[in-house]
Amino acid sequence: MNFKHKYFFLFPGLFVLIGILIFPIIFVVRLSLSGWNSYNPGLDYIGLENYIRLFTDDPRFWESFFRLSFLSVTTVILQYVIGFALAHMVWKDIKFKRFFRVLFLVPMMTTPVIMTVIWRTFFHESLGPVNDMLSIFGVAPKWLTDPVIAKFTVIIVEVWQWTPFMFLLLLAGLLSLPKEPFLAAAIDGASPVRKFIYVTFPLMAPISIGAIIIRLIEASKIMDTVYVLTSGGPGTSTETSSFYIFIKGLREFQMGYAASMSFTYLIIMIISLTIIAKVLTKVLLKE
Amino acid sequence: MNKLYIFLKYFFIVVWTVFVVAPFLWALTTSFKDFQSVNGGVTYIPWVDFEPNLEGWKVLIKSPAKGGVDIIEPYFNSLFVTCTASLISIILGTLSAYALSRYTFKAGFVKNNDITFFFISQRIMPPIVLSIPFFLFLSSINLLDSLTGLIVVYIVLLMPIAVWIMVDFFNKVPREIDETALIDGCNPYQAFLKVVLPNSIPGLIVAGMFCIIFGWIDFFFAFILTFTEVQLLPVKIVALNSSVTPWWSLSASALVSVAPLIIVAFIVERYLSKGNLSGAIK
């Protein structure tokens, strides 16, 4: 095929993306070496001071990072298990198959923050339906103001919101599986459980890895839900890294410090996601 | 064994269905309530537990001066930003995806897959990392708090999705069709426009839907990069939530705001059942 035309196809998109991104990325690195804050806005040079502060004197950042890891790993595992179960159930013929498929996709189409506004009324401690129904059993959990329970509220909302995405990826995977292995298993008279363990699950391993990685990437960004649901509270008990950086950078205007945090955070994310992808590939594909 | 399995299956499906539907039902009933039925204890069933009224829905069309919630302008802003950014992303993304699928690129150690990965990897970027430089950048060129500024940012969010879906899709469209078109005397652009694109409509629809979904549901950038001049729908609803807006009008506005994309669920399901998504999502 003709040689030079290919650049006319590729370059508009590539250059627009690079053009929009190159400045912010270089700027974050430069900003992280400056002491830009609300008293002193400007790109002075203070060396690695921000990074030293971050690594030696800011437990709150690391706590928020571990909290984020806990929240995102837990939600993704739950989403994977539930999403796989749901996809497996509506894969073969059941009654109202298409109705359930549409219904299970709906939450992902709704705007997370807007649904969170509804969830807030849903989990309201005295006027919400959850505690009203639980009052039959004589309990009234503080869904939004107890440091431990608030984390689970965030998890519940995230699972509701994003399990459909997992469901979609896994169902699309299931529908594209070849038929032969299942015929062979049927001829051997394998039970449904054995069929799942020895045929379906191994065939789904590559798709599972992809789906889990995509969801982990998206889950590591959780911030909108937390912002609306609990604003990081009570205290800092649901504060994630993004939210902490947001507070430092765009609330307290410590731009330089926030930039050093976001750059560190980006590097950690890239490294940990690469490791997770490698480990998952090993574990799921070796079987 | 088999009976138990089927029972568990339907049990699980019913439980999940209730979980999925619950917040919608709650918002729907709440939107017809009045002060007494919200604040005087929890009520569920209209006409039995409380007397429904349309107050929550009426405020949607009232002007803000008369106590309305004023979501019509944010609605159109959201629609405009999402559609424009999606359209630009799809056009640019499709062109790039076509190049990456059909031609070989090599610049040093950078090959096709690396370029594709560069596009897709933009989704890994935590929004917060970009938000601070975008904030300063847009304020320096006076695009803070404007629709144009938001569209520029949304292109970064959406183009990776378009490229990701379209590269996989073009890989499935047989090369022979463009080669035949080239032999018949089309130049590469005509071959692309007249032959390849018409054969890629399912892929374009899927990519378009995902761009629209991820553009429409974004809150973070709209929240940070706009203030008063321009408001997008999610930001508006959250602002209502933090003011003293009563639950009934809050629920009504929330329902109206999430309604349009629910149609998308039907389209996605149709493509899923026809098997068009399995290649596009991998």
Distance CA B45, CA B30 (A): 10
A163 in Cβ contact with A86 (< 8 Å): yes
- Quick count: other Cβ atoms within 10 Å of Cβ B189? 11
B chain contacts of residue A90, beta-carbon cutoff 8 Å: 13
Distance CA A45, CA B99 (A): 42
Helices (H), chain B: 2-30, 35-39, 55-58, 72-102, 112-121, 127-140, 147-172, 175-183, 188-190, 201-216, 220-225, 233-242, 247-273, 276-280
Chain segment B220-268, per-residue pLDDT in tens: 888 888 887 888 888 888 888 877 778 888 888 888 888 888 888 888 8
B chain contacts of residue A103, beta-carbon cutoff 8 Å: 17, 20-21
Distance CA A153, CA A233 (A): 12
Is the pLDDT assigned to residue B278 strictly greater than 60? no
Residue A75 confidence (pLDDT): 93
For residue A91, tell me if it sits in a domain. Answer: yes
DSSP assigned state of B197 = G
Is B31 near chain A, with CB under 8 Å? no
- Closest CA relative to residue B98, chosen from B203, B183, B210, B208: B203
Distance CA B58, CA A236 (A): 39
For residue A277, tell me if it sits in a domain. Answer: yes
Contact B102 A6 (CB under 8 A): yes
Residue A286 confidence (pLDDT): 67
Tokens of A25: 């990325």
- Residue that wins the pLDDT comparison between B88 and A178: B88
Q: Which domain holds residue B208?
A: 84-245+274-280
- Residue that wins the pLDDT comparison between B35 and B68: B35
- Residue that wins the pLDDT comparison between B89 and B47: B89
Closest residue of A to B26, CA-based? A122
Distance CA B230, CA B228 (A): 6
Q: Which of A85, A103, A255 sits opposite B20 (nearest CB)?
A: A103
Is the pLDDT assigned to residue A1 strictly greater than 60? no
Tokens of A24: 């912010």
Distance CA A97, CA A100 (A): 5
For residue A100, tell me if it sits in a domain. Answer: yes
Distance CA B19, CA B40 (A): 25
For residue A28, tell me if it sits in a domain. Answer: no
For residue A150, tell me if it sits in a domain. Answer: yes
Q: Give the strand pairing for B110-111 and B106-107.
A: antiparallel
- Domain count for chain A, please give it: 1
State pTM to two decimals. Answer: 0.88
- Of chain A residues 129-168, which have a CB less than 8 A from chain B? 129, 132, 160, 168
A chain contacts of residue B165, beta-carbon cutoff 8 Å: none
- Closest CA relative to residue B201, chosen from B171, B166, B176, B177: B166
- Domain count for chain B, please give it: 1
Chain segment B118-142, per-residue pLDDT in tens: 888 888 888 888 888 888 888 888 8
Distance CA A159, CA A74 (A): 9
Residue B280 confidence (pLDDT): 47
For residue B89, tell me if it sits in a domain. Answer: yes
Q: Which domain holds residue A115?
A: 58-286
For residue A204, tell me if it sits in a domain. Answer: yes
For residue B61, tell me if it sits in a domain. Answer: no
For residue A37, tell me if it sits in a domain. Answer: no
pLDDT, mean over chain A: 85
- Quick count: other Cβ atoms within 10 Å of Cβ B209? 20
- Residue that wins the pLDDT comparison between A35 and A165: A165
Distance CA B237, CA B254 (A): 7
Q: Which of B5, B26, B273 sits opposite A122 (nearest CB)?
A: B26
- Helix, strand or coil for residue B60? coil
A chain contacts of residue B281, beta-carbon cutoff 8 Å: 168-169, 172
- Residue whose tokens read 């030696």: A56
Chain segment A235-255, per-residue pLDDT in tens: 788 888 888 888 888 888 888
A169 in Cβ contact with A210 (< 8 Å): yes
Q: Ranked by mean pLDDT, which of A66-75, B131-140, B171-180, B193-202 comes out on top? A: A66-75
For residue B109, tell me if it sits in a domain. Answer: yes
Q: What is the CATH number of the domain that holds A279?
A: 1.10.3720.10
Q: What is the CATH number of the domain that holds B139?
A: 1.10.3720.10
For residue A49, tell me if it sits in a domain. Answer: no
